Structure 1
Amino acid sequence: MSLEVDVRKLDLFNTMAKEGSSTVADHLEQLTGVPAAVRTSQINFLDIGDVKTHMGDAERVGIYVELTEAPGGYVLFVLDPTDARHLVGQMMGGVGSGDDGDGFTDMERSGLQEIGNILTSGFIDGWANVLDTTIDMGTPQLLFDRTPAIIDDMGGWPRSDLVFVIDSHIVSKDTDIDLTVYTFPELQALVDLIQDIDLDTDVAEDSTPADVW
């Protein structure tokens, strides 16, 4: 497996993080009518065994979707349960009562499913714009559990020892919503897509071994 990337293309990783997260923030504002902004957007290359440690061990609402085209892998949105209830309440105009066992009504769960569909579509569209491709996805899944259990339930981890993780915090100040986006693409497939992107100069001709990473 070759993960060499022309040094002039490394900024595309940052562009993907910013574009996907900014698109989610825009969609969040459209859903709730409350301004949202990307507070931080970090890129991490983690050993597959360190992912759960990185994400913590708290009770969370997880909304994840599998990418069915390159680069493959998963996109996962993680919220504190209170933030999730605020978010769906904003979208539903404050409707929601009579919780079930996990503290969410059927209506709230349906609303979170819809939010997940809109946000994941927006995030993937942001990526596709940067990569100049189309990326299809499966149906967003909703989970209520501790973060490690959510990771286990996702299953089908990318087939590599390293995981490329974009960790973005999207904040809506007026409602104290803090939404974290984790992405786990197939690293080799992602590198291949980035390598296929043309730059203004001829990469094959102008690059030297010292220019690749």
Structure 2
Amino acid sequence: MTMKVDIRKLSFINEMAKVGTNGVADNMSKLTGEDAQMEVTKTNFIDVDDLEGQLDDGKRVGVRVRLNDPPHGHILILFPETSAKKITAIMLDDVVEDMSDVSGKMARSAVEEMGTMMASGFIDGWADVLGRVIDIAAPQLVYAPGGEIVTRTAGLGGDELALFFDSDLSVPSYQIEAEIYAFPDLATFVEMVNAMEVPSNSSSTPQSHSP
């Protein structure tokens, strides 16, 4: 199976990142009633061994979601601890009057629910671009230094390279920060991208880009 992407089709990868993050922002906007914005800050093929050194040591809390359908792999939704506390307040606002009464279990459940909602928006965006349904496994709550979580997740696929989408979410009044990392099964992902139809007005000679 080839690991080279037709260079004319690299735009599909950027489109998947854009549509996916738009889905996350839409879901967050519905929840908060505010205009959430999400920006893709980096889309890159990167050596798994180099991942941890590029990330800060701050702890993150969030969810890891496994894709049961192609392109398989995992999606990570991570929040800095300060944002996780704000998410807990948002999710439990109608349930708890005094946030000091919130148990650790309730807080983790709130973050897991938010992370799952965001992952669903991202994966639905991918499914739209790929023209297929992508089923997911039950989300797994994660809490550790960000670099450790990302490196461990990237290694689950057994690939030396990972497709690295780094995105930041902003909700003005709540000042929530979030990061999304996508690690599809690389061989499957490349095959799916190469199978996508290039617009008919593209008449350039086919080339390839090797990750």
TM interval, short-chain normalised: 0.7 to 0.9
Count how many residue pairs are aligned between Structure 1 and Structure 2.
206
Identity %: 34
In structure 1, the partner of 2:100 is 97
Separation in 2, partners of 1:71, 1:207: 27
Separation in 1, partners of 2:158, 2:130: 21
Residue correspondence of structure 1 range 143-158 to structure 2 within 5 A? 143-151=142-150, 154=153, 157-158=156-157
Separation in 1, partners of 2:91, 2:33: 8
The 1:10/1:149 distance shift into structure 2, 3 A limit, reads: closer
The 1:110/1:15 distance shift into structure 2, 3 A limit, reads: same
With the length of structure 2 as denominator, give the TM-score of the two structures.
0.87
In structure 2, the partner of 1:29 is 29
Deviates more, 1:27-36 or 1:125-134: 27-36
Does structure 2 retain, via aligned residues, the 8 Å contact 1:45–1:165?
yes
**Does residue 1:212 correspond to 2:208, yes or no?**
yes
Letter in 1 for 2:180: V
Letter in 2 for 1:3: M
Question: How far apart are residue 170 of structure 1 and its match?
Answer: 1.0
Does structure 2 retain, via aligned residues, the 8 Å contact 1:60–1:81?
yes
The 1:191/1:126 distance shift into structure 2, 3 A limit, reads: same
**Structure 2 counterpart SS, 1:97:** helix
Separation in 2, partners of 1:207, 1:24: 34
Residues 22-60 of structure 1: per-residue CA shift (max 9 Å, x gap): 110111111222321013431021111012122322111
Residue correspondence of structure 1 range 24-103 to structure 2 within 5 A? 24-93=24-93, 95=96, 96-98=99-101
Question: How far apart are residue 152 of structure 1 and its match?
Answer: 6.2
With the length of structure 1 as denominator, give the TM-score of the two structures.
0.86
Alignment root-mean-square deviation, CA: 2.3
The unaligned stretches of length 5 or more in structure 2 are none
